[in-house]
Amino acid sequence: MKAPRFTSWFGKLRLLNQPQRLRVLDALHPAAGLEQVIALIGQIREAGRCCPRCSSRCWYRHGHANDLQRFRCRDCGRTFNDLSGTPLARLRLRGKWLDYLQTLLDATSVRRAASRVGVHRNTAFRWRHRFLHWVKLDRPAQLGGIVECDEMFLLESQKGARTLNRPPRKRGGAASKRGISNELDCILIARDRSGATIDAVVGRGALKAAQLEQHLLPKLDRQALLVTDANAAYRSFSRRHGIAHECVNLRAGVRVRHARQSAIHVQNVNGYHSRFRTWLARFNGVASRYLPNYLGWRWAHDGGRITTREQLLRIAVSVIYS
């Protein structure tokens, strides 16, 4: 629109009644959101921008496409933008991303998020797991001091699968076997007294020492004191790797005991289990293959660690090249 025509159009805005003004604001809202998202993406990637093919930092600007600045690598000739190589690449409707990120902060259901943002429920579901793809990797590098570790179990779910490798259950149902069996997903959670937390879906059935070596050992400070329940897997793991270990016998009714001038208990990690179960219940069951995303989502919420849409967007686009 040329300047004289825009000036004439802009001068008539004061003549609009309230419903008409609201319609104009609704029409302009996605455009304002788009500009904000594009500016944030450029700001986040500016310092570490490099070619997704060869990791070269020698590039030059190469026009625009789909509202994003494109770049061309001087070494390999590939063109790319700031979303190339990220889970957000080729996602549309960028003007609605910030509104959708707010629904992630509010932990709303797929259908409610779709209704609030104005997209299809399938789009809302796809966006959820694209935005959470890197969030699940945003974890502390190491746990130290007193580290509480315990496992929790959730019924295996193939929600959303087109074919099942077992008989279907009604409304989630219950396991057909008593106790801990291969029908349950085992989730390992370790948490130190500062609140730093790591977690992993380690497999099905009872916890094994080999799973602790794979998921816990790389994150555990060798000088830390590992506090667990009386599960034999923890005892075997700590002896094999020379890690100081204390346990509490919950089955015998022992909740807290004192040793080495410290309170020995697993109430910190068990409280995290309880909060996770309560929070997860609002989604009416989640598929087992998406559990790592929901663990990362919950960790982002826990303790108010991530409170703004900009922080979530930064995590979603900052870990790009592996």
* 166 falls within a domain: no
Averaged pLDDT score across all residues of the chain: 88
In whole angstroms, what is the distance from residue 174 CA to residue 111 CA? 26
CATH number at residue 298: 3.30.420
* 294 falls within a domain: yes
Which has more pLDDT, 172 or 93? 93
In whole angstroms, what is the distance from residue 87 CA to residue 115 CA? 23
For residue 28, the model assigns a pLDDT of 61
Q: How far does CA 127 lie from the centroid of its chain?
A: 12
Query: Considering its fold, how many domains does the chain have in total?
Result: 1
* 191 falls within a domain: yes
* 232 falls within a domain: yes
E strand intervals along the chain: 59-65, 68-73, 79-80, 146-155, 184-192, 197-204, 225-228, 244-247, 257-259, 262-264
* 207 falls within a domain: yes
What's the token pair of residue 101? 């990120």
* 82 falls within a domain: no
CA distances from 70 to 43, 94, 152 (A): 15, 16, 46
* 64-123 pLDDT per residue, tens: 998 899 999 999 999 999 999 888 999 999 989 999 999 999 999 999 999 999 999 999
For 264, how many CA atoms within 13 A lie in the half-sphere containing its CB? 19
* 135 falls within a domain: no
Do the Cβ atoms of 198 and 140 come closer than 8 Å? yes
Give residue 248's domain range.
Answer: 141-160+179-306
What's the token pair of residue 131? 């935005």
Q: Residue 140: which residues within 8 A CB-CB, separation 6 or more?
A: 196, 197, 198, 219
* 99 falls within a domain: no
In whole angstroms, what is the distance from residue 300 CA to residue 196 CA? 11
Is the per-residue pLDDT at 48 higher than 60? yes
* 1-12 pLDDT per residue, tens: 678 787 887 787
Q: Structure pTM?
A: 0.84
